[in-house]
Amino acid sequence: MAIVIIDGQEIEVGDDERLNGIQAAKRAGVDIPHYCWHPGLSVVASCRMCLVESGTRDPASGKITMVPKLVPACQTPARANTVFVTNSEKVQQARAMVEEDLLIRHPVDCPICDKAGECYLQDYHFEHGQKERRADIKPFTSRRRSLGPTITLFVDRCVMCTRCVRFTREATGTNELMVIHRGAHEEIDIFPGYPLENKLSGNVADLCPVGALGDKDFLYEQRVWFMKKHAGVCSRCSTGCSIYTEENQDRIYRIKPRENPHVNKWWICDEGRYGWKHVHAAERNTEPQRLEGDDYVNADWSTTPALLDKQLRDADNLAVVLSPFLTVEEAYLLAKYARRVNKHATIALGFVPVVGEDETYPNGFTIRAEKCPNRRGVEEVASRMNGGLVAWDDFLARAEAGEFDAVWITGAYPEPWHDEATAQRLAEVPLLIVQDLLPSPLWSIATWRLPSAAYAERDGSFVNHADRLQSFQWAIRPPAGVMVEGRLYWRLLGEKGLYNARSAMLEVANEINYFAPAHHEPPPLGIDLKTSQLASTV
């Protein structure tokens, strides 16, 4: 353990932690303002906002020797006996000067800037800027140019921190962005004909500490202070990135990455970032319906569970298909219900969408080919509850052979997932319950059509490809007419009160060994089911 002194406060730093001044100060509860430094990128120390006084303490005599000049905290390692002073007048003056310099060429168009409200330049100016301006600054309209299909650049709002440039060099390795011109004329730009076009491009808008890089998808959609942030888990691939869903009045406006060192660090891919459009799709199923004669009639949620229950009990051979888009809790509740109404019910794992191959970027970020969030979790539930795994293809073959007279298929796929031919293989099933998000061939031949919830509307847990279980709560309420799966299964089981994902998870943890670590409330970053198991068997 090494001792580092921040503003007279001694903190302990591990020997192999290799923290810089900003990180060490954060540990002491001191925020050092910074633009260019980001924990996921290399250090350039170019913005000069994190200038602090630094020195060393002689461990023997306790005498402190300070460096005469200010040093950038981001570039100064917090070694043993390093002293940082972050609140002296000299430091405050330096910060005010940096702020003043940045504002000389800034358009000050905060009222129309999408970053306003979460802008470092605004925040730091209130905290560290000068009360009065010495320069005669008039607001003006920033020049603007497109950098690629997702990002637009407001040239004059930029503070030249070069985070975005370093991101394309170090994180994606695609090198689209660069700095052109020199000195006060420096600008971010692309080489003509080579736009910013990679699957992580949306991250540069998050990285930008000011309003220079705008997300075209979110541009002028909503002021940031109107939105509420909900911690969630991305459902678009089996990486299971930690995200924030930002919504206003049950409408999602954007998805932002949530820092999680075990999964996605600070990033998310564009597939996940813009992969919420299906939630508000106009063609979404929002009405439960049942086949009467040749026509579909709208079903009523107050009577549907009882009717379903009766029909399922009458069936001799029941099969339920658990979609990898269900949460662990929902999959378990449905499997438990199926086993209750029919002791020999078959529990199968639903279709697992795989598109292309895993793509790994130089910074280790991987976009998985498996485009579903919870194959691992549902697979464990299905194979445990069934006593052996029945995959989608096996199930289809058995259903086609006429083995089942009642089938419940859960979907919730954000994209079309089967073709007409697949649906026809199930056409002979007398009782076909289809629960899906979007209309599909199966939906059109179902006996019961139950609309399913989108990922942002669920409560529960996903298990990602690396056996990390992450729990989350709903971010938005489903459209009228949609009953979230968990709630429906809860009612079918006759459980008391409202659907409670946590108590369902406790039951899963008791029942299935794989989920045993989830006995304890999982932390926001999730728990690794595999390492916990290894630790418990040793």
Partner 1 sequence: MKSQDPAIRWVDEPKLGLAGKMYLPLFLQGLTVTTKHLVSPKVTVSYPDQEPQIDNPLIYRGVHRLNKDAQGRVKCVACFLCATACPAHCIDIVGVESPWPDREKYPESFTIDELRCIFCGMCEEACPVDAIELTSLYNLTGRSREEMVFDKEKLLSVYEATKDAEPMASVRHGLPTPSSEGTGAPQSAAPPQASPVLQGDVHTHSH
Do residues 252 and 218 lie in contact, with contact meaning Cβ atoms separated by under 8 Å?
A: no
DSSP class of 393: H
Least Å distance, CB 87 to partner 1, is 15
CA 390 – CA 406 distance, rounded (Å): 16
Phi-psi region of 404 (alpha: psi -120 to 50; beta: other; left: phi over 0): beta
Of 141, 298, 360, 473, the one binding partner 1 (CB under 8 A) is 141
Of 18, 90, 133, 144, the one binding partner 1 (CB under 8 A) is 144
Q: Which is nearer to partner 1, 223 or 251 (CB)?
A: 223
Strand-pair partners of 367: 359
Q: Which is nearer to partner 1, 92 or 141 (CB)?
A: 141
CA 303 – CA 491 distance, rounded (Å): 11
Q: Which is nearer to partner 1, 138 or 185 (CB)?
A: 138
Least Å distance, CB 150 to partner 1, is 16
Q: Which is nearer to partner 1, 46 or 152 (CB)?
A: 152
How far is residue 345 from each of residues 318, 334, 392, 436, measured CA to CA in Å? 5, 11, 15, 21
Site of tokens 């670590």: 517
DSSP class of 479: P
Least Å distance, CB 227 to partner 1, is 12
What stretch of H or E contains 528?
Answer: strand 527-528
Least Å distance, CB 375 to partner 1, is 41
Q: x/- binding map, residues 205-224, to partner 1, per CB under 8 A?
A: --------------xx--x-
Select from 5-13, 138-146, 253-261, 323-331 the region that touches partner 1 (CB under 8 A). 138-146
Least Å distance, CB 157 to partner 1, is 11
Q: Does position 194 bind partner 1 by CB under 8 A? A: no
Per CB under 8 A, contacts with partner 1 among 219-258 are 219-220, 223, 225-226
Strand-pair partners of 144: 154
Q: Does position 109 bind partner 1 by CB under 8 A? A: yes
Residue 21 exposed, middle or buried by CB count within 10 Å (0-12, 13-18, 19+) = buried
Q: Which is nearer to partner 1, 223 or 520 (CB)?
A: 223
Residue 55 phi, psi (nearest 5) = -170, -170
Least Å distance, CB 214 to partner 1, is 10
Of 111, 183, 293, 388, the one binding partner 1 (CB under 8 A) is 111
Q: Does position 149 bind partner 1 by CB under 8 A? A: no
3-state percent breakdown (helix, strand, coil) of the chain, nearest 5: 30, 20, 50
Q: Which is nearer to partner 1, 221 or 314 (CB)?
A: 221
Q: Which two tokens stand for residue 227?
A: 């939105």
Q: Which is nearer to partner 1, 81 or 248 (CB)?
A: 248
List b or e across 226-254, with b for residues whose CB sees 16 or more CB atoms inside 10 angstroms: ebeebbbbbbbbbbbbbbbbbbeeeebbb
User: Closest by alpha carbon to 237, among 175, 324, 174, 146?
Assistant: 324
Residue 72 exposed, middle or buried by CB count within 10 Å (0-12, 13-18, 19+) = buried
Of 139, 149, 173, 524, the one binding partner 1 (CB under 8 A) is 139
How far is residue 502 from each of residues 98, 116, 459, measured CA to CA in Å? 49, 37, 9
Q: Which is nearer to partner 1, 67 or 112 (CB)?
A: 112
Select from 140-148, 382-390, 425-433, 475-483 the region that touches partner 1 (CB under 8 A). 140-148
Least Å distance, CB 118 to partner 1, is 15
Q: Which two tokens stand for residue 335?
A: 């499997």
What stretch of H or E contains 290?
Answer: strand 289-292
Angle at 119 between CA 44 and CA 475, to 5 degrees: 115
Q: x/- binding map, residues 54-93, to partner 1, per CB under 8 A?
A: ----------------------------------------
User: Closest by alpha carbon to 410, among 381, 388, 370?
Assistant: 381
Least Å distance, CB 177 to partner 1, is 22
Q: Which is nearer to partner 1, 58 or 127 (CB)?
A: 127
Q: x/- binding map, residues 473-512, to partner 1, per CB under 8 A?
A: ----------------------------------------
Q: Does position 280 bind partner 1 by CB under 8 A? A: no
Q: Which two tokens stand for residue 146?
A: 């497109």
Of 67, 112, 397, 498, the one binding partner 1 (CB under 8 A) is 112
Q: Does position 142 bind partner 1 by CB under 8 A? A: yes
Least Å distance, CB 154 to partner 1, is 8
Q: Which is nearer to partner 1, 222 or 311 (CB)?
A: 222
Sign (positive/negative) of CA torsion 217, 223, 225, 227? negative
* Site of interaction with partner 1 (CB under 8 A): 109, 111-112, 138-142, 144, 219-220, 223, 225-226
